[in-house]
Structure 1
Amino acid sequence: MNDNAFTFQTLHPDTIMDALFEQGIRVDSGLTPLNSYENRVYQFQDEDRRRFVVKFYRPERWSVEQIQEEHQFALELIDDCVPVASLLSFNDQTLLNHQGFRFAVFPSVGGRQFEADNIDQMEAVGRYLGRMHQTGRKRPFVYRPTIGLEEYLIEPRKLFENASLIPSGLKADFLKATDALIAAVGERWHSGYTPLRLHGDCHAGNILWRDGPLFVDLDDARSGPAVQDLWMLLNGDKAEQRLQLATIVEAYEEFSEFDTAELDLIEPLRAMRLVYYLAWLMRRWADPAFPKNFPWLTGEDYWQHQTAAFIEQTKALQEPPLQLTPMY
C-alpha cells in the first residue's frame, strides 16, 4: 500500500465497531469524528455510558515499532505524573490491529482550550514541559526520526519540483523562494544540541486546560532540540514573545536545564515547519479529506501567499535570534 495515496475509504463504521467489539467494547452511540486529518479519530459512548476515543493510524506512515515507541513514551510520562492523554491496554497491548488497521483506544477527557495569551497558563505549561523533557532524556528513541534538514527541507523541495498542484506560471518564483529559504536555514542550523524525546508538535491546539494543562496527540513525537516543544507556543509581537519565552523557560528550569544556545534554532525550525507542512498537504492530496478541507491549495492566490511567506521567513532568518529577557 502506498502511504501517499492511502485514503481510509475502507474504514467503514461497521469496521470500527467490529474492531472495538473484538476488544470487549460495545458502541452504544454514534461515532463522532474529531479533528484529525493524518489519522482517523472518533469519540463514542459504550453501553455503560462511558466515553472513549479511538484513533486509527494512517497505514504505512509509522511502523509498528515507531507507534509502540510513541505509546511507551506516553506511558512513561504518565508514570512520571506528566499530564498526557492516557492509553487503554487490552491483554497488555496498547496498539491493536483489525483488518490491517492499527488503532488505539483512550478514555475521553474534556477540557477548555489552552489560552495562549494567558501568562499563568503559559507558566504551567512551561513547568510541565520541563517535566516532560526530564522524562524524554531518560532514554532515546530507537525507531522514531530526529528532526533534520533532509526530512523537513530537502525531501519537500524534491516534491515541489514535480508538483502539479503548483500553478505553472508561479512555480519558478515559488521554487526560487524555497531555495533561498533552504539556504538561509542551512546557514543558521546547527547540531550542537543534545537531542531528546519530544512531544514534537506542541502548539496551543494540542493542549487542553483542566485546572492545568493536558498534552494530547503524541503522533509527531520524535527526537530533536528541546526548543522544538517551546517555540510554537510563542505568539504576538517580539516584546510579547520575549515575555512568554522568559516565563516558559523560568518555569521549565524548575525541572530541566535549558540550553539558551538552542534559541538560535527557533527561526530555522519555524522555516522547516512551513516547508514540511506544505509538503504534507501535497502528499495527502489523494485522500478525499484534503481537497474537501483545503480547497484553496489549488488557487493561485494561495501559492503567491506561500511564496511571500517563504521570502518573509528568509528575512527573519537574517535577524538576530530571539533572546531571553530577565523576569526581574
Structure 2
Amino acid sequence: MNKQPFFELKPDVVTDAVESLGYLSDGRIMALNSYENRVYQVGIDEKTPLIAKFYRPERWSDEQILEEHQFMFELVDQDLSVVPPMKDANGDSLFRYNDFRFSLFERRGGRAPELDDAEHQFQLGHTIGRIHQAGQTHPFIHRPALDIQNYGINSADFISREFIPASLKISYDSLTSDLLREIDAAFKRAGNVKQIRVHGDCHAGNILWRDNTPHFVDFDDARMAPAIQDLWMFLTGDRNQQQLQVGGVIAGYNEFSDFDPRELHLVEALRTLRMMHYAAWIARRWDDPAFPHNFPWFNTERYWGEHLLQLREQLWALQEPVLRLL
C-alpha cells in the first residue's frame, strides 16, 4: 500500500472535488478527526457547510462502499436518524476526483450520549433494535464479517511478527494464544448465533445525541456480525455496573428486534477482539505520516507494556460469569 495515500489530497484538491459536483466553496476548510479516511468540513458559499469524506485508497472496493451507502438509505427509508451520503441528480453517492473516491454528507450537530444514564441506555437499545430490524432483512454480499480470524488471529500474528518489542514477544505470544482460546470458547458457548448487517463501530463518538434521540453517523465499519456487536459498547464500568445497564439496553432493543440472550457470551470476546484489532490497525497504518503524528504514544516500550496489562485484564474478564438478563 502507498505509504502516503493522501499525500496529494491538498486543500485545493478537496475544494475542487466538492466544486466538481456543482457546489461553490467559500474557501473555508476544516479537517475533522478521522484517520482511516480523510474527512473535511467544507464551507459552501451562502449555504450550510458540507462534510466531504475521502476514502482511503485500497481499503474498500466500490461495491463495498456502495453497499454501506445502500444500508444507510434503507435506514433513512425506515425513518431512522442516520446521516447518509448525499446523492446527485443521477442518484449517485460515490464520486471520483483525480485518484480519490469521495462522498458528501450534510453537517449534523449533537453531543455524545450519556452511557450511564438509564434513559439514554434504553433509547440507544431502542434505536439499534430498529436498525437491526432492517439489518436482518438480507445480508451484505461484498462487505466482510467480523470473525476471530481477521480481528484476532491476524492481528496477533502481525503485531508479534512486526511490532512487539523482543523483550515482550514471549509474553505477548503466550497471552494472545490464551486469549484466542478463551474467545473461541466464548463463541462456542454462544452457539450458532445469527449474523446480520450491523453498524459495526457504535462508540460514543459515532452517536450524536440531539432532541432526546441518538443519531448514528459513520457506517464505514458496517459488516456482518452478531447483534451484540452494536450493543456491547453501551455497557461501561465494571461487571456489576454493566449488569445493571444491560437490562435497560436490551429492553429498548426488544421493542423492535428479538435479542438472543446467548449473545451475552460474546460481550468480553468482542471487546477483546476490538482491542487486538485496534492495536494492529494503528500498526498497519504506521507508514502513513498521519499516524505517528496523531498517535505519538504508540509503538513505545511503555505502550506495549500497558497493552499487555489490558489484555491480561481481558483474560480475567473472559473467565468471569456471563452477564444475565434479569
Aligned match of 1:205: 205
Q: Distance in 2 between matches of 1:257 and 1:73?
A: 20
Aligned match of 1:195: 195
Aligned match of 2:313: 312
Contact kept, 8 Å, 2:15 with 2:27, in 1: the verdict is no
- C-alpha displacement of 1:243: 2.2
Aligned pairs (5 A) from 1:1-328 = 2=1, 5-90=3-88, 91-163=90-162, 165-190=163-188, 192-211=192-211, 212-325=213-326
Task: After superposition, give the CA deviation of every residue in 1:40-66 in whole Å (9 maximum; x if it has no partner).
Answer: 000122012312101001011011000
Task: After superposition, give the CA deviation of every residue in 1:1-21 in whole Å (9 maximum; x if it has no partner).
Answer: x16x34311111111111111
Contact kept, 8 Å, 1:7 with 1:288, in 2: the verdict is no
Worse-superposed segment, 25-34 or 60-69:
25-34
- C-alpha displacement of 1:158: 2.1
Q: Distance in 2 between matches of 1:28 and 1:308?
A: 49
Contact kept, 8 Å, 1:54 with 1:103, in 2: the verdict is yes
Q: Distance in 1 between matches of 2:54 and 2:19?
A: 15
Q: Distance in 2 between matches of 1:6 and 1:324?
A: 48
Q: Distance in 1 between matches of 2:278 and 2:47?
A: 38
The alignment partner of 2:215 has SS state of strand
Q: TM-score, normalised by structure 1?
A: 0.95
Contact kept, 8 Å, 1:281 with 1:290, in 2: the verdict is yes
Contact kept, 8 Å, 1:7 with 1:286, in 2: the verdict is no
Shift of the 117–298 alpha-carbon distance from structure 1 to 2, 3 Å rule, reads: same
- C-alpha displacement of 1:157: 2.1
- C-alpha displacement of 1:129: 0.6
Q: Distance in 1 between matches of 2:173 and 2:27?
A: 49
The alignment partner of 1:139 has SS state of coil
The RMSD of aligned alpha carbons is 1.3
- C-alpha displacement of 1:313: 0.9
Matched to 1:256, the amino acid is: S
Matched to 1:206, the amino acid is: N
List alignment gaps of at least 5 residues for structure 1: none
Contact kept, 8 Å, 1:6 with 1:59, in 2: the verdict is no
Q: Distance in 1 between matches of 2:48 and 2:319?
A: 53
The alignment partner of 1:60 has SS state of coil
Matched to 2:115, the amino acid is: A
The alignment partner of 1:143 has SS state of coil
Matched to 1:262, the amino acid is: E
Task: After superposition, give the CA deviation of every residue in 1:235-265 in whole Å (9 maximum; x if it has no partner).
Answer: 0222321222100111111100000011001
Contact kept, 8 Å, 2:69 with 2:84, in 1: the verdict is no
The alignment partner of 2:234 has SS state of coil
Q: Distance in 2 between matches of 1:137 and 1:94?
A: 23
Worse-superposed segment, 168-177 or 85-94:
168-177
Contact kept, 8 Å, 1:160 with 1:175, in 2: the verdict is no
Structure 1 stretches of at least 4 aligned residues deviating more than 2 Å after TM superposition: 237-240
Task: After superposition, give the CA deviation of every residue in 1:58-116 in whole Å (9 maximum; x if it has no partner).
Answer: 01101100000000000000000111013211121001111121110001011122221
The alignment partner of 2:26 has SS state of coil
Q: Distance in 1 between matches of 2:155 and 2:257?
A: 34
Contact kept, 8 Å, 1:116 with 1:233, in 2: the verdict is yes
- C-alpha displacement of 1:184: 1.5
